[in-house]
Chains A and B, each alone.
Chain A
Amino acid sequence: MRFFADAALALRLLARDWRAGELTLVAVAVVVAVASVTTVGFFADRVHQALSRQANQLLGADLVISGDRAMDVSYAAEAERRGLQVARMLRFPSMTTGGGQNVLAEVKVVTGGYPLRGDLRIADVQNGTDRRATEIPKAGTVWVDERLITRLQLQVGDVIEIGKSKLPIAQIITQEPDSAIGFINAGPRVMINDADVASTELVQVGSRIRYRVLVAGSPAAIADYRSWVTPKLAPGQRVESIEDARPEIRSALERSEKFLSLAALLSVVLAAVAIALAARRFLQRHLDACAIMRCHGASQSRLVRLYLQQFVVLGAAASLAGCVAGFIAQHALALWLGSLVTVELPEPGWMPALHGFVTGLALLLGFALPPIVALARVPTLRVLRRDIGAPGGMGLLGYALGAVVIAGLIIWKAGDLRLGGMVFGGFAGAMLVAGLLSWGVIALVSRIGGAGVSWRFGIANLRRRPMASVLQVVALGIGVMALLTLTIIRSELLDLWQRSLPPDAPNRFIVNVQPDQIPTLKKFFEGRGMTMPELHPMVRARLIGINDRSVTPADYSDDRARRLVDREFNLSWATQMQKDNRLIAGNWWGNKPRTDQFSMEDGIAKALGVGVGDKLTFDSAGSAFTAEITSLRKVDWDSFNVNFFVVSPPGLLEKYPASYVTSFYLPPGKVELLNALVKQFPNFLLIDVAQVLGQVQTMITQVSRAVQFVFLFTLLAGLVVLYAAIASTQDERLYQATIMRTMGASRSQLARANLAEFAVIGALAGLIAAAGANALGYTLASRVINVGYTFSPMLWGIGIFGTVFGVMLAGHLGTRHVLRIAPLRVLRMLS
């Protein structure tokens, strides 16, 4: 019963403090923290779902099972049983005949429902306006693409022969969703209904047919299905989603997520600082209450219980409010982005709300618990002697539990111990450095005498409570850092990211250029007023050995590694490293390198379990060669440039059969160039990545918008921190000013003393903020978007002068009224 009696008392005490405004700052800090975490959580969840669904348009499905033999019927049946959408497709090359001409085309046989994701667009006539197809070709008709109908010189309605069938052309295909997947989409395209495939008599034993089962549904159901189907696959069959198929999309998706989660982490850290300051202020203001209650016979454990109950209730209520605010905010965000996001945003799940709730409660208790325990130990003698201050444990050590909670939350949010540890370590280190710096500067400045009585008073204020001053400086610095990041760094970073994929990024690849064709290809481009794009040599070779052991696919359990060993690598040679590559281990070769070296892409090296110093043996056209890995590179796959997993210096690969590969930008409306190219160089393989490119560009735009919105919360959290930092010393400042006035200090002297103090605080905080914002910008640029970052001198100027001005103004406004009212009234207010 005792417990419940206390719960009721705790609630009454809570209500009284709430009414008196003592809890507002704590509550606001928690609400902002939780709202920003949940908004980002809700929204990142939805954006991720939307982006991957959008990306899946390029696959025509969420998941594709493909292979060179007929699919077991159970694959489709099981998918249907699980309520997933299913379509089937076969693809094979075949000669098509019409108007007296023969053209080798790619025949695509589809069932109803195709495509499950993305748009198939058709037109009634050649060069006519196209529209989204709502069904597949009717049985007994074909759809063909513009290239085929042009080369056969036919019209819509004419008959085309495919195998043993003669079928009329019903529509022109202008866009297929899945044209960019795989490297086999070079030929003109014919699409027919599954019902007509038997009559063509083309599907026979030995035919070169690719079979596909397409599946779509909710991410969870797809993941379940994937794990069901993977162990059942026959040799030569594989299951893939867009991330498996296109490294550019995977890399853009990963970046988007990193951006969003970093924004969320920043908000959490800021909100934590605000909560810490607010909780500290609350407890400091309750020292007297605790002393009085202990005088009236409350035991230490009872005080801990009373305050703990209050903070649990407060934390739960504020966290709940934050969740609701977050839910509303992300809906507003979705509405605002509605016109931009081309697909419907799926409804968010409930997990983000739970995350937010736990975050709010954990942060509040983490920062409030140590001071509560300390508070309960307040010496009762304080009622007789006010000069007995706070008991120990209210200082830096009191923040240890809070720091542990933050570290836990960050690691939880980052979903990765190493990354989370790095982020937390970065923040903790920065705060520590900032704290030590402020401490040192304050000590130094207070040694500099002279300079007038007001200045000395102001500086003495700083030195008198060094811990509070340092905390205030660090908190202000972090708040301003968030503002700088929001205003200056954010737009620069997003700019950099968008510029990393300019509008004229390569959208076509040419593969299989023979060495003797290079001069003719050069003439071809120059004759059309274009510059010849850079050609890269390519040697196909199979990996047969690592160090002294031979390698087979069976050595690897990892699917990707097994596929890599199973198929041929594309090797290249180069003198210089490509601009969009970044060296992460070892050294790039100099001008006169030894020839038996490899530079390997980092991801592939990880998949194969090799690193610098390992020797790889390849086999090309029957002869083997060995070289040592001397460097690892990070490759910017979404730059859409030609890149290679394995590169060697000149001199190693030239003796093996090589072809060349290049990428270039084809402006829209210049399809004629492609036709001419194929006509003049029939052996070329042309790959169209325009759609993938467009997709990545859209993703960048959308994520940039989302990030800006999410940073609004960071801004809000920053403002709360600023307010809390200024408010944290307000009581003391009032008291001090009053005492000095009673001792005869003039108002202008006091105002000047305050301004001197605020100027030092502002300058230090501004310095910390500018350094922090630059470091954050650098980290984001190099780790998240992989672009070079230039340190902005403007940032330092705005950061330092802006903060000095802002803090002086805010401080002056905050203390101005103190100087006006009679000292006795202030003393009474504070007693």
Chain B
Amino acid sequence: MTILNNVSFEVAKGEAVAVVGASGSGKSTLLGLLAGLDTPTSGSVHIAGEDLFALDEDGRAALRARLVGFVFQSFNLLPAMTALENVMLPLELASESGAAATAKALLERVGLGGRLTHYPKQLSGGEQQRVAIARAFATRPALLLADEPTGNLDEATGAAIIDLMFELNRERGTTLILVTHDMELSRRCGRALRLAAGELQS
């Protein structure tokens, strides 16, 4: 079964691109490939000049550590860690010094300075997504990938999260690729890629 076929595009540094399409059109699969979380039967993905699939699994992991940040639909915070610790984790994995200070500053930036020691289950959905955004930006990634970041949130909360993402995107000059079927959200991106039945439509 072919999920994606003849999909080819380039995204410039600092650009914000939305990937839109109906359920089952292959949006999430595309995102997984862009992040190197999955491998294609054929084709290639280059990030900052590096061929993702020329690397092995651990090589891709190292590249992600250096260049890529993620925001997921289901937040994916670790339940056994506090908000602060969740944001610290990628910094700690990169063995960066001052992880706690960086994470604290980021959580304050997303408006959660008062909830550092709270566990995910003590936070609302919007708050959890803010923690996830702070975590995604913690390592100053060149590329931020977001999978339906507002999919689990109500409209008002979703709008606030989107604002936050774009603000951070501008502040840090990050390239943003986000998967959504929220038309409002796709309009705010500079460009929208439309997927239908695994093919890119212009």
Contacts and interface: CB of A to CB of B under 8 A. Distances in A.
Contacts of A22: 80
A831 B75 contact: yes
Of the listed residues A296, A299, A828, the one surrounded by the most CB atoms of chain B closer than 10 A to its CB is: A296
A488 B90 CA distance: 55
Interface string B95-131: 1000000000000000000000001110001000000
A291 B35 CA distance: 13
Nearest to B92: A9
A178 to B, nearest CB: 67
A386 B28 CA distance: 12
Interface stretch (A12-20, A110-118, A179-187, A805-813): A12-20
A296 B89 contact: yes
A288 interface: yes
A162 to B, nearest CB: 86
Given A12-B92, A295-B37, A288 B78 contact: yes
User: Interface residues of A: mostly helix, strand, loop or mixed?
Assistant: helix
Interface stretch (A321-329, A376-384, A687-695): A376-384
A interface residue count range (under 10 / 10 to 19 / 20 to 34 / 35 or more): 20 to 34
A301 B65 CA distance: 15
A296 B65 contact: yes
A242 to B, nearest CB: 58
B32 A298 contact: no
Interface residues of B, number: 37
A189 interface: no
Nearest to A6: B95
A296 B93 contact: yes
Contacts of B57: 300
Nearest to B56: A299
B62 interface: yes
A353 to B, nearest CB: 32
A220 B78 CA distance: 56
A133 interface: no
Contact of A384 (B62, B92, B147): B147
Contacts of A285: 79-80
A386 B74 CA distance: 9
A17 B79 CA distance: 9
B76 A16 contact: no
A107 B66 CA distance: 96
B61 interface: yes
A297 B62 contact: yes
Contact of B80 (A20, A293, A385): A20
Given A383-B76, A385-B28, A298 B93 contact: yes
Contacts of A743: none
Contact of A383 (B62, B66, B72, B94): B72
A776 to B, nearest CB: 39
Given A297-B63, A297-B65, A381 B93 contact: no
B93 A297 contact: yes
A295 B93 contact: no
Contacts of B63: 297
A685 interface: no
B125 to A, nearest CB: 7
A297 B47 CA distance: 15
Nearest to A380: B37
Contact of B78 (A5, A9, A292, A828): A292
Contact of B90 (A296, A299, A385): A296
A265 to B, nearest CB: 35
A299 B92 contact: no
Contacts of B147: 384
Contacts of A383: 37, 70, 72, 76
A320 B38 CA distance: 43
Given A12-B92, A292-B78, A299 B61 contact: yes
B79 A384 contact: no
Interface in A1-47: 2, 5, 9, 12, 16-17, 20, 22
A63 B85 CA distance: 66
Given A296-B65, A828-B125, A831-B75, A381 B38 contact: yes
A301 B59 CA distance: 12
B32 A381 contact: yes
B70 A295 contact: yes
B168 interface: no
Q: Closest 8 interchain pairs by CB? A: A297-B65, A20-B80, A299-B58, A296-B90, A380-B37, A297-B64, A381-B37, A297-B61
13 contacts: A2-B95, A9-B95, A16-B80, A295-B70, A296-B65, A297-B62, A297-B63, A297-B65, A297-B90, A299-B58, A299-B61, A380-B37, A380-B61
Given A292-B76, A298-B61, A383-B72, 11 more contacts: A16-B81, A20-B80, A20-B81, A288-B76, A292-B78, A296-B90, A297-B94, A300-B57, A300-B58, A384-B147, A385-B28
